[in-house]
A and B are shown apart, each in its own frame.
Chain A
Amino acid sequence: AQSVTQLGSHVSVSEGALVLLRCNYSSSVPPYLFWYVQYPNQGLQLLLKYTSAATLVKGINGFEAEFKKSETSFHLTKPSAHMSDAAEYFCAVSGPIIQGAQKLVFGQGTRLTINP
């Protein structure tokens, strides 16, 4: 079974500062890992995904995440925060793809606030 823990339900950073959103996972099989972003009253948009290729994954909007198997972590970072990054961020884990279906297990989300 898979599970995800996002450390910190709310993170606040200044504009231009480093963004670090933490995600730890548990999986009995090699995981697929994802970060999604959600703006108010909208659906989820994929930021990036790890599927057992390179451990450092680059995504959209300047975000990246590093898969660390020894730490069971997949933290999301961005070197310089922008006001438009304010949103809810979800980490998710998936096990093997079975008959074309992939069941994602989500963390509880981290709300990112950017201070001017």
Chain B
Amino acid sequence: DGGITQSPKYLFRKEGQNVTLSCEQNLNHDAMYWYRQDPGQGLRLIYYSQIVNDFQKGDIAEGYSVSREKKESFPLTVTSAQKNPTAFYLCASTRSGNTIYFGEGSWLTVV
């Protein structure tokens, strides 16, 4: 089945550690996105990518990094510079500006 797969579903990060969240899509979508969701708040855009080997910062990019080496993959690294990383992270994708589809999300908790 086509879709967006995020892994892992739950991830724990120690202080000072970098962690990477995986996002893979088999929908042949061109654009991919990462959003962060905090309780009681809407989604905020971290990074997005329109084509392979290109990406742009969103509204809250500090402390995060991404890569887009393949059309299907858009991993997000939460670096130690992100001081408050505990949140629900959502990956999304779209083809040529049509409807944006979301993955099932990943929970990141600092321990």
Q: Which residues of chain B have a CB within 8 Å of any CB of chain A?
A: 4, 6, 30-31, 40-45, 48, 50-51, 56, 58, 90, 92, 94-97, 99-105, 107
Contacts and interface: CB of A to CB of B under 8 A. Distances in A.
Interface of A: 4, 9, 34, 36, 41-46, 49, 90, 97, 99-104, 106-109
Contacts of B6: 43
Contacts of B101: 46
Contacts of A36: 102
Contacts of B104: 42-43
Contact of A102 (B4, B94, B103): B94
11 contacts: A46-B100, A49-B99, A100-B50, A100-B96, A101-B50, A101-B94, A103-B45, A104-B45, A104-B100, A108-B40, A109-B42
A106 B90 CA distance: 13
A100 B97 contact: yes
B48 A90 contact: no
Chain B interface SS verdict (over half) = strand
Contact of A100 (B31, B40, B44, B56): B31
B40 A101 contact: no
A42 B97 contact: no
A45 B100 CA distance: 9
Given A43-B103, A44-B102, A102 B31 contact: yes
A27 to B, nearest CB: 16
Contacts of B41: 108-109
A29 to B, nearest CB: 14
Contacts of A4: 42
A104 B99 CA distance: 10
A97 B97 contact: yes
Contacts of B30: 100
Nearest to B42: A106
A106 B105 contact: no
